[in-house]
A and B are shown apart, each in its own frame.
Chain A
Amino acid sequence: MLDSLPYELPELVTRAPLDIHRSTVLREWVDWNGHMNLAFYVTAFDQASGAFMRNMGLGRRYVDGKLGMTFVLETHVTYDREMKGGAPMRFTTQLLDRDAKKVHLYHEMFHAAEGYLAATNEVIVMNIAYASRRSARWPAPAAARLEKLWNAHKDLPRPAKAGRVMSLHRK
């Protein structure tokens, strides 16, 4: 485990849920159905995960400095409403669980102007040691931030769309 990080960390945002990420649907994300293709929802959500990681102190400098990386192990998206090219997006992020190496996040994507829920994403992100490309414990400063975030998020209600099993027969 890294005991320190050789750069200044951004100011920690403990608002729960986290609501710092904004983005726009790019034209090249639109498919032959005239809406954002399902894959680019995953890309857009991955950038929201990136915003969460930056808040933990694990942004681009973490990778560029060859200190570590974060890999997604698993992701589950619900597609609730279409988004067109150019649509503004607003994201909220709730920390559902964490351990020494992983976080379990839940994102919601909203149309930033019209306000509707467009999609949700539940995701597991794991810390990776740069050289070995294997799982590793969070660097100490990131682990300390993660505990502060956990304290801020742990009492939020569990989202109804988290923990889903995909089936045609669910009630």
Chain B
Amino acid sequence: MVELDLSAPLDRHRATVLPEWIDWNSHMNVGFYVVAFDKATDTLCEQFGCSWDYTRQEIGMTFVLEAHVTYDREVTQGDPLRITTQILDHDAKRLHFIHAMYHATEGYLAATNELMLMNIDYASRRSAPWPDFARERIEKLAAAHKPLPVPEQAGRIIGIKRKK
């Protein structure tokens, strides 16, 4: 397992906007923001031993139950991305967290992605409690993130706002 990183928020993930992520509007397509965020989820899951090796060795998987994205500003081909991750909540089987994607050199917020992730037993493909090694690390990460303020993009209800 990787060394546990208790910096809050987690600030390990870096990426670059690939040419195939660009659509006819000349910016990163809505779906590929989620591709980029999903790779940041892998970086988070590495922290508690539930990333690629967890599935490759047929121990378990993690499935996303729900995802909410805010698209705050455009990014284009070749742009460097920095993604930070904050754990919001967890229980025996699930993890609730939010990513923030920044343009890595210009610094602006490009998007956020709130997610509900569930641990899955490999053989049955059904939900299962986190393995002990993962639960211990999730608890340490959650404790480290607990003092952080909850981002305004978390817990949003989608709608068209109207001036009163």
Contact = CB atoms under 8 A, between A and B. Distances in A.
B13 to A, nearest CB: 15
Q: Is the interface of B mostly helix, strand, loop or mixed?
A: mixed
B63 A122 contact: no
Interface in A151-167: 162-167
A32 B31 contact: no
B30 A46 contact: yes
A166 to B, nearest CB: 6
Nearest to A69: B25
Contact of B66 (A40, A64, A78): A78
Interface string A83-122: 0000000000000011100101000000000000000001
B155 A165 contact: yes
B69 interface: yes
Given A63-B25, A99-B160, A166-B116, A79 B65 contact: yes
Interface string B30-68: 111111011000000000000010011000010111111
A74 interface: yes
A30 to B, nearest CB: 13
Contacts of A99: 160, 162
B91 A39 contact: no
Nearest to A162: B158
Contacts of B89: 167-169
A42 B158 contact: no
Contacts of A38: 34, 38, 64, 67
Size bin of chain A's contact surface: 35 or more
Interface in B6-22: none
A123 interface: yes
Question: For B52, B158, B160, which residue has the most chain A Cβ atoms within 10 angstroms?
Answer: B158
B69 to A, nearest CB: 5
A72 interface: yes
B68 A43 contact: no
Contact of B155 (A37, A104, A163, A167): A167
Nearest to B157: A163
Contact of B38 (A39, A102, A124, A169): A39
B159 interface: yes
Given A40-B31, A63-B24, A74-B69, A166 B155 contact: yes
Contacts of A168: 89-91, 94, 96, 116
B110 to A, nearest CB: 13
A23 interface: no
B156 interface: yes
A33 B96 contact: no
Contacts of A166: 66, 68, 96, 114, 116, 154-155
Name the 3 nearest CB pairs between A and B, nearest first. A43-B31, A39-B34, A39-B35
9 contacts: A38-B67, A42-B69, A43-B30, A46-B30, A63-B24, A104-B158, A165-B157, A168-B89, A169-B89
